[in-house]
Chains A and B, each alone.
Chain A
Amino acid sequence: MSIFEYNGSALVAMVGKNCFAIASDRRLGVQLQTIATDFQRIHKIHDRLFIGLSGLATDAQTLYQRLMFRHKLYQLREERDMKPETFASLVSALLYEKRFGPYFCQPVIAGLSDDDKPFICTTDSIGAKELAKDFVVAGTAGDSLYGACEAMFKPDMEPEELFETLSQALLASVDRDCLSGWGGHIYIVTPTEVKECTLKGRMD
């Protein structure tokens, strides 16, 4: 089993009309044994920027702590929050620093730019950015997620419809992957509010 599949994860972010949604599964496992069913993969950097980290949980935790540190320092120096595009570049740089001893993580970054336009991007484990206009996926259920999202995505969805679409895509995909699942976490972010929901799916 590859090191990326040690803990199991599923992450997806999708763009809507002046909003975005980012969702993850909740399983923390050690290969085929499930340790916990309430693991948080998505973290808030600030009100308009979220990052989800899939892959090896220990590296995801270390990377999240380093990113929070860098963002807090940025906030102190610049007296403002980081833009999503800037943050994505920061993530990419941090990952490439460890080019020959990488973090075994695949991050998914989702945020609202200055003009309230949603921004999503993913990188591989060594920081190669992939910007997308519709959706990005990561984790052991990544392949299934690509299929489900491609089938269900429509451009310019309102927040409610985006929530429905993303939930269905996530739950359908993790049901085909034994290493991820046990419910879902989903954040729907609009310029005015952040809604956080827990999804109940097949608990197996």
Chain B
Amino acid sequence: MECVFGLVGNDYAIVVADTSAVHSILVHKSNEDKIMVLDSHKLVAASGEPGDRVQFTEYIQKNVALYQFRNGIPLTTAAAANFTRGELATALRKQNPYQVNVLMAGYDKEIGPSLYYIDYIATLHKVDRGAFGYGSYFCLAMMDRHYHSGMTVEEAIDLVDKCILEIRSRLVVAPPNFVIKIVDKDGAREYAWRESVKPDATA
């Protein structure tokens, strides 16, 4: 029941993910951050098999950092997305493919914001808005209705809240909490949390 979605605005990209870590019927924790800050201007929102998710995104993060150390310049979002696709595609035909769906958002100086949809079977596509999981049925519909190119951040957050409301009211085992992260010319950072169940201090 993991929900990950994102959209691109005029000079920013936003990704949203639910924050429940679930094992069968048990919710281990409800403040699990599934959006990794890949580097200063990239975000990776991942959903899927929990072990694979952390392992794979950390692997991508470290390789992106290695490229920057070796070459002195950071990868573009498109390059990082294609690298990610390559790793998923290579693993696909080996013994254990990664079961991770990825939405990669980034901001490049000359190109602006971009969002890449990368399936667990390594289908790569550059999109304006994308979503994974059961929540995608509701998010994609809401975004199709309300999204237009050149939205301001406030309008986009409003749309994100509409999507979260739909998920909460219409998905049977809806995750209670979400995290929103944004990437723009000033970098990738956490924007807000949307909590309807406060995780307790010991979680």
List chain A positions with a Cβ less than 8 A from chain B: 7, 28, 30, 33, 35-36, 39, 56-58, 61-62, 101
Contacts and interface: CB of A to CB of B under 8 A. Distances in A.
A56 B127 contact: no
Where chain A touches its partner, the secondary structure class is mixed
Q: Which 9 A-B pairs have the closest CB atoms?
A: A58-B122, A57-B123, A58-B123, A58-B121, A36-B125, A62-B89, A36-B127, A28-B125, A61-B124
Interface in B113-153: 117, 119, 121-125, 127, 130, 136-137, 140
B22 interface: no
A61 B85 contact: yes
B117 A35 contact: yes
A57 B136 CA distance: 20
B125 A35 contact: yes
Interface in B80-94: 85, 89, 92-93
Contacts of A35: 117, 125, 127, 130
Given A36-B117, A101-B93, 4 more contacts: A28-B125, A35-B130, A58-B89, A58-B92
A33 B130 CA distance: 12
Contacts of A33: 136-137, 140
Nearest to B92: A58
Nearest to B137: A33
Contacts of B89: 58, 61-62
Given A33-B136, A62-B89, A56 B130 contact: no
B104 to A, nearest CB: 15
Nearest to B93: A101
B171 to A, nearest CB: 15
B93 A28 contact: no
A30 B125 CA distance: 12
7 contacts: A35-B117, A36-B127, A56-B121, A58-B121, A61-B85, A62-B89, A101-B93
Nearest to A101: B93
Nearest to B85: A61
